[in-house]
Amino acid sequence: MVMGFLGCVGAVNEIRCLLGLYFTFLLIILIAQVAAGVLIYFQRDALKTEMSSIIHDLIVTYDYSDGRNTSAEDTWDYIQRNLKCCGWTSYQNWTDNQIINNSTNEYPCSCMINQTSPNGFCAYNGTLRSSVYTTGCMQGVESWLQNNLGIILGVCVGVAVIELLGLILSICLCRGIQSEDYTKVPKY
């Protein structure tokens, strides 16, 4: 928001300093985005390990009724429901959850094969293996990322091109603004 203000006010009022700040901030953001992309590409294994740790912590603390962490829990329920998977590596990841440890027949509703409840815990009938998805979500998430890599890269390149265009236009506008020449003002 500050950047938009700097760019707009600098362009409308022809203030070179504000356009220079706009250029600098936009350049810093572009460099940070490129650095993040390179870091993600070269640190895939570390990212995978960190992601596994984050998902494990989410599974251990999952309790939809407490109202904490609901956006992360909703996202995880959405992933499990749509990818038809349960847990990160397998459905047995959920045995680390305290609520499931204290229950005899409850599992997340998003893991259930024939369940209409979107989130929280649901009781299952019959055996656990026949009631829940047994495959973990890790392979499904990886294959989704691989299948949509072109779209993700396209969006990233599109954003970078727009940022580069903003950089070029701000420099052109900044150079086109003529400084007032105060040396020709008569002295009294």
Judge whether 88 and 59 are in contact, CB under 8 Å.
yes
Rounded Cα distance, 146 and 140, in Å: 10
At residue 155 the predicted structure's pLDDT band, cuts being 50, 70 and 90, is: very high
Instruction: Please report the beta strands in the chain, taking only residues with DSSP state E, as ranges in sequence order.
Output: 106-108, 121-123
3-class DSSP state of 132: strand
Compute the Cα dihedral for 154, 8, 171, 25 and give only its sign: negative
H/E element, 162: helix 149-176
At residue 150 the predicted structure's pLDDT band, cuts being 50, 70 and 90, is: very high
pTM value surpassing 0.85: no
Rounded Cα distance, 45 and 29, in Å: 25
Q: Write the DSSP symbol of residue 104.
A: S
- Which stretch of 98-102, 132-136, 180-184 has the lowest confidence by average pLDDT? 180-184
Residue 164, CA distances (Å) to 4, 22, 56, 99, 141 in order: 15, 12, 39, 51, 31
At residue 89 the predicted structure's pLDDT band, cuts being 50, 70 and 90, is: very high
Residue 87, CA distances (Å) to 7, 66, 77, 99, 141 in order: 46, 20, 10, 15, 12
For each of the domains in the chain, give its residue range(s) and CATH number, in order of start: 47-146 (1.10.1450.10)
Q: What's the pLDDT score for residue 93? A: 93
Answer whether residue 181 shows pLDDT above 70.
no
Q: What's the pLDDT score for residue 135? A: 93
Q: What's the pLDDT score for residue 99? A: 86
Considering the chain, what percentage of its residues have pLDDT values greater than 70?
A: 95
3-class DSSP state of 151: helix
Considering the chain, what percentage of its residues have pLDDT values greater than 90?
A: 52
Q: Compare 35 and 123 and report the one with higher pLDDT.
A: 35
Give residues with Cβ within 8 angstroms of 52, minimum separation 6: 88, 89, 138
Q: Compare 155 and 4 and report the one with higher pLDDT.
A: 155
Average pLDDT for 104-127: 83
Q: Which of 106, 112, 48 is nearest to 86 (CA)?
A: 112
Answer whether residue 179 shows pLDDT above 70.
no
* Chain centre distance of CA 66: 24
Judge whether 173 and 26 are in contact, CB under 8 Å.
no
Question: What does the DSSP assignment read for 39-85?
Answer: HHHHTHHHHHHHHHHHHHHHHHH--GGG-TTHHHHHHHHHHHHHHT-
